[in-house]
Amino acid sequence: MRRFHAKVFDDFITAAQQAVEIIATSSQYDSILAKFDTIMIQAVVDSGDGNSTLRVFQQHSSDGKTWDYKNDGLLLFGVPITVGAITADMGMDLSGVPSLAFVRLTLQMDSGPTKARVRLYVTARDGGG
């Protein structure tokens, strides 16, 4: 049964030529995202000024300050960034491993220089009725 749906990220992100910046969703969603058995994430990317790939990962934490990648840092999914195109993809945590008290999503582009608008939507479900 669907328990939660929200746009958890909507901003422009930039990848420099050499440095890869990791951007996280707002802390206002950390405890909410950890409450559910399954979260499905859709990323929509547009206004790209270069070609790259947006990579989406899941992290969790017991204190909301120290974070570790869930599932040994495996990529949830990637979205191609193409000049002049709107691209989208989706993914979810298929590990079945319980999350700690807080969950966030992290974003990074694999090359630069690139700038693009990214929106992340999350739908959370729990088993049962």
Q: What does 14-65 look like in DSSP terms, one character per residue?
A: EE-SS----EE--GGGHHHHTT-SEEEEEEEEE--SS-EEEEEEEEEESSSS
Provide mean pLDDT across the span 122-127: 87
Q: Is the pLDDT of residue 129 over 80?
A: no
Q: Cα(88)–Cα(79) distance, rounded to whole angstroms?
A: 6
13 contacts 23 by C-beta, under 8 angstroms: yes
Q: Is the pLDDT of residue 97 over 90?
A: no
pLDDT tens digits for range 100-109: 999 999 999 9
The predicted model scores a pTM of 0.91
pLDDT tens digits for range 25-75: 999 999 999 998 789 999 999 999 988 999 999 999 999 999 999 988 889
Say how many C-beta atoms besides its own lie within 10 A of residue 84's C-beta: 8
pLDDT tens digits for range 64-96: 999 999 988 889 999 999 999 999 999 998 888
CATH of residue 112: 2.60.120.260
Q: SS3 for 102?
A: strand
Token duo for residue 73: 């840092």
Q: Is the pLDDT of residue 128 over 60?
A: no
Question: Could you give the number of structural domains in the chain?
Answer: 1
Q: Sorting pLDDT into bands at 50, 70 and 90, what band is 19?
A: low
Q: Where in the sequence is the domain holding 109, given as residue range(s)?
A: 2-125
